[in-house]
Chains A and B, each alone.
Chain A
Amino acid sequence: MDRIRFFFAPAIAALLFFSGAGGRAFALDFPPKGVELNGFLQGNYSLDTARRNPDGGSFKLAEERVQLKLDADKDPFRVFLKGDFFHDWIDSRKFDSELREGYAEYTSGKWDARLGRQIITWGVGDLIFINDVFPKDYAAFFSGRPLEYLKKGVDGVKFGIYPGFASFEVVAIPFFTPNVYPSPQKFWMFDPMPQIAGRPKEEPATSLRNTEAALRAYREVAGFDTSVYFYRGFFRQPSAIPDNPLAPSRLDLIFPRLSVYGASAQGRAFFDGVLSLEAGYYDSRDDESGTNPFIPNSQTRFLIGYQRQLGEDLTASVQYYAEYMHNYSRYVSTLPAGLPKARRLYELTSLRLTQLLRHQTLRLSWFMFYSPSEGDFMLNPEVKYSFTDNIWAALGANVFGGGHEYTQFGQFGRDDNTYVQMRYEF
């Protein structure tokens, strides 16, 4: 709550400043010049189609939501607030709110700065992230929320610097935000130590030392959009550390230190398609030697993707992604008996087909993840139709299977769901 107040304060101060500058007309002429108010009403429901949830419920999601977006602009300053107010029928069964984004921005000729909660998306992967080290909400992704809910804002400051020969984004994040994963009440998931209930979670404390730093430099090189990236911070997926490896009574959920060094390129290639390349070295700073089996080893991750238009309003894209674990033999030799063993090379492929019809008001899409190394998959077919310029609805399904009970998609084998999203935008 404190951090929300911290970030709200400059935004609200700026807003008051703008509305003051808007002057007498504020009450009569709302919103005043330079201020825009938009948003949507949304219903979002996701029904189990394979089996009831572990807690006995039959919905992954059932909620109504209002989003309000306020955009106030007075050159060179800008304030943007995006807040959701929702009623959840499954978990809390009450009204709640969430600040999705809220920042103040200053723009100058050669640089700009954005302070507050903001969504940052880096890298060239399609639902595969290497250098996008920013928080994700996988619970939203697996239970049929609109795609934008996969991304969560970071609480920090971002500077853009544009000297001409290249462009730079410099991000500092003093407040740590972990990823959101599906809850064990709603998703059947693999748990290697189900008998241990005590699982205190400890997020990195807010301090100068723990402030996350991220840098992206980008420019065009030989017709390709190229970027190099650097990140120094923490894994956003917690590691479970047993208090006593032989007879554990408690699992401490911690977020190990991480640095990422990476690069990406995207451009036209092969029959006028779009080729995407990305790689990153994940330096697991709390387990450099690879001898702690409870903390991820360092990895090299890479991705190659290709997108092509096959016909009018029909687009196909494929991706191949791999994670190579360093110090694999040390990982194997220290892994306690009874825990599933990760492979040295994890591989994942994806296929996306999108067809637009009826003057692009009807969208049929098919997305599939398949892991050749694990043998598991996720399918996401979806139909979306815009009834009018303001009203659309989407009907889709998430289907999981293959692999083993401990693999990424295989563990969700009983979590298939069918979802509906309906939205009125204004």
Chain B
Amino acid sequence: MRRFFILTVMFLLLAGNAFAIDGRAIMEKSEAAFYYPGRDFKARMVMKLVSAGGQERLRELTMLRKNYGHPGGPQKYFIYFFRPADVKDMTFMVYKYPDRDSDRWLYVPAINMVRRIAAQDKRSSFVGSDFSYEDVSGRNVGDDNHVLLREEKLGGRDCYLVKSTPKKTDVEYGWKLSWIDKASFLPLKEEYHDRRGEIYKVFTADEIKTVKGFPTITKRTMKNIQSGHRTEVAFEKADYNIGVPDSLFSERFLKQPPKRWIE
């Protein structure tokens, strides 16, 4: 009898391990849903940078992304700026690798020059916004320890609440809480806490639309709670699997971005 009880408990424990999803698996699925859907992706987006005092600045750009391999694998990004006027026609290219820092190139139209730029700091701000480079192109799932805290509803949707703690101290936050939608695996909300435990930045997915079968966050906000500065991003157009050619990610097209790909 006693032996039977132990076997039952062991079976239940094993079953629990086999069927429950853990924090890391959730974040891997979320990475695939958020940063890797489709073979390629194109979005025309407007970023609105709003200061605590209400002053607004606009960044309008087209971003093209192409995957090379599985979710979590290498990607290439091509970004063309429409606005503001002093960066119009600038292009920016990123080769992202899972196991090392990205390579980045910038094209400066006024002097017709393409330059590599040093890019150790993935946490630095993307074009002055509240989004970091990592927020734009994704953070390596293996860089954090992920713990599933609980399941709870957020805005009527069933979510996993995952705490992600960076393994190294080279980031500016202490940990991150993510509410991951159980259905789409997109993050509906993220809270960044500083090392003292105070909330520092909050990400919210404000609108989700399904584009070619892929649930896509078409409006999002990153707000810095401590400074009051926030950045709102709206996708004006978004599309997947449009056949972005490998040749786009080259010096030639950084200098002469083809209209059909950037508009």
* Chain A interfacial positions (CB closer than 8 Å to B): 38, 40, 73, 75, 105, 107, 112, 118-121, 124, 147-148, 150-151, 160, 162, 167, 218, 223, 225, 266-268, 271-274, 307-309, 311-313, 315, 317, 356, 359-361, 386, 388-390, 392, 423, 425-426
In the complex the two chains form, what is the Cα distance from A90 to B86 in whole Å? 27
Residue in contact with B125 in the complex, picked from A120, A160, A359, CB distance below 8 Å: A359
CB of B111, distance to nearest CB on chain A (Å) = 5
Complex contact A162–B125 (CB within 8 A): no
* Chain B interfacial positions (CB closer than 8 Å to A): 49, 51, 57-58, 83-86, 88, 100-101, 103, 110-113, 115-121, 123-125, 127-129, 172, 229, 247, 250-252, 256, 258-260
Residue in contact with A425 in the complex, picked from B86, B247, B256, CB distance below 8 Å: B86
CB of A147, distance to nearest CB on chain B (Å) = 7
Contact A112/B256 with A40-B85, A148-B110 known, Cβ cut-off 8 Å? yes
Q: Which 3 A-B pairs have the closest CB atoms?
A: A360-B128, A425-B85, A389-B84
**A148, A311, A392: most-surrounded residue (chain B CB, <10 A):** A148
Complex contact B86–A268 (CB within 8 A): no
Contact A309/B124 with A167-B252, A359-B229 known, Cβ cut-off 8 Å? yes
In the complex the two chains form, what is the Cα distance from A272 to B49 in whole Å? 30
| Residues on A with beta carbons closer than 8 Å to the beta carbon of B259 | 73, 75
Q: Can you give 26 contacting A-B residue pairs, CB < 8 Å?
A: A75-B259, A75-B260, A105-B256, A112-B256, A118-B112, A119-B111, A150-B111, A151-B111, A162-B247, A218-B251, A225-B251, A271-B120, A273-B120, A312-B121, A312-B124, A312-B172, A317-B118, A356-B128, A359-B57, A360-B128, A361-B57, A386-B86, A388-B57, A425-B84, A425-B85, A426-B85
| Residues on A with beta carbons closer than 8 Å to the beta carbon of B83 | 389
CB of A153, distance to nearest CB on chain B (Å) = 9
Q: Which residue of B lies closest to A386 (CB)?
A: B86
Known: A40-B85, A386-B86. 10 other contacts (CB 8 A): A75-B259, A147-B111, A272-B101, A272-B118, A273-B120, A307-B117, A309-B124, A359-B49, A390-B84, A390-B85
Complex contact A160–B111 (CB within 8 A): no
